[in-house]
Amino acid sequence: MKKRKVLVILSNRLNRLQPPRYIEVECDEKGTVLKEETLKRPPRVPCYDEVWENDDGKTSFSSCTSFKRKYRHPLEKPRKE
């Protein structure tokens, strides 16, 4: 069973003064969430398989209904070819 490490960024597009929230999610290959952890500060090293963002101003991962995947985000691991 292969696990993915995903960074979820919860921001507010209407109020840019509100700081974004960062959540680290570990899920399996089907997308089932196995572990969820709120980060205290933004990550500094690119160690995530995917980066998702919700800019509706939600405060928790469970209250969000949709996410946008951010391709080539600076915190996403570089692809090995």
Give the residue among 16, 6, 57 at the shortest CA–CA distance from 36. 6
Q: Give the length of the chain.
A: 81
Token pair for residue 55? 């800019």
Q: Quick: pLDDT tens for 2-58.
A: 899 999 999 999 998 999 999 999 999 888 999 999 999 999 999 999 999 999 988
| Strand 50-54, strand 33-39: pairing | unpaired
pLDDT of residue 81: 63
The three-state secondary structure class of 80 is: coil
Q: What is the pTM of this model?
A: 0.88
Token pair for residue 34? 């196995």
Domain map (residue ranges) of the chain: 3-69
**Cα 29 to Cα 21: distance, rounded to the nearest angstrom:** 25
pLDDT of residue 16: 86
pLDDT of residue 51: 96
